[in-house]
Amino acid sequence: MNHEDPVLLHTEGRVRHITLNRPRALNALNHTMVRCMGDALDAAGQDDSVIAVVLSGAGERGLCAGGDIRSIREDALAGGRTSLDFWRDEYRLNARIARFPKPYVAVMDGIVMGGGVGVSAHGSLRIVTERSRIAMPETGIGFVPDVGGTRLLGAAPGELGMHLALTGDPVSAADALLCGLADHYVPSGGLPALLAALDGCTTPEAVAATAGRHAGTAPAGELAGHRDWIDTCYAADTVEEIVERLDGCGVPAAKQAATTILAKSPTALKVTLAAVRRARSLGSLEAVLDQEYRVSSTAFTRPDLVEGVRAQIIDKDRNPRWSPAELADVTDEDVARHFAPLGDAELGLGPAAAGTG
């Protein structure tokens, strides 16, 4: 094992450990890492001596901050398509994680965003800590939640997922548990003991039981107390009406949510609203990933992604110039374009007809 490799693999007892190893980049995913994880899962799935996989991130800051959006922006500016190849393999990896036949334990400590959610929240045992900050912040860079995120958010109770999808707000451990993004809370100081206990397990059933025994009660979250206005406001038919309800309901947190939403890409907001609602009726994760690939492929060619990454990551002026700049100027045709079939370029994970309407 080369400690400079972007993904580290080692086995303790009967547990295969996968460690994302780009701590200076907050373990942001690139194509090499996605391929390495896919190969590691293939090997672990076929190895009868391995009873479980544990995913964690190197460094002190978090599991994974998402995809390498600097590279995606450079690819878009150059008129390339390597990002589409990356997403194709990444989304296939997300599906494999969800269908992995052995326990897949994701240690979601610290920052877990975007692609980091994709390699963790589809796992069978998802561990959060008091340090966890989990988010799908794509609308802030002119993009749309992907990596199966529209399915995860669409399945959250009430309209909690839509609130998170449009605002991009991060959630803590308790709120991640409430939204179905995690299974167990373990204090960060208890992770070494948990991992040591997992390494001593000899059956898949013991892995699940061990995770449960080490779990505790998470510090109180915020979303449960906001359900009334969230469920009412985000049930509106359009983003414009959602913002109007938020701004006018008289709750300071709702008004803040409206302000947050209005700073995001208008196109990304409208596509995200449609994508999450469509995901609720698509059935399988594979069908949702097919839809997300269509959306991502179109968003990649639009100006807001390049501009959003510039404003947030490159120049860091936090002042993106969206095109169009106003919600009212994003047409139904603009939104529908993101869901159009890709022909021979389809991801092709789900039934051929899924999501092509």
Q: For residue 104, give the H/E element and its range.
A: strand 104-108
CA 250 from chain center: how many Å? Answer: 31
Active site includes 138? yes
d(CA 212, CA 223): 24
Active site includes 237? no
CA 266 from chain center: how many Å? Answer: 20
Residue tagged active-site, from 115, 118, 142, 168 = 115
CA 141 from chain center: how many Å? Answer: 14
Active site includes 146? yes
Residue tagged active-site, from 67, 148, 161, 350 = 67
CB 210 within 8 A of CB 198: yes
> CA torsion 90→95→96→97, rounded to 10°?
90
Residue tagged active-site, from 68, 90, 109, 146 = 146
Residue 152's alpha-carbon distances to 8, 135, 176, 195, 254, in angstroms, are 27, 11, 11, 26, 22
CA 55 from chain center: how many Å? Answer: 15
CA 156 from chain center: how many Å? Answer: 13
Could you give the strand order of the β-sheet that contains 133-135, starting from the edge strand earlier in sequence? 62-64, 111-113, 133-135
Beta bridge partners, 52, equal 15
CA 282 from chain center: how many Å? Answer: 18
Residue tagged active-site, from 68, 75, 90, 138 = 138
Which are the catalytic amino acids? 67, 115, 138, 146
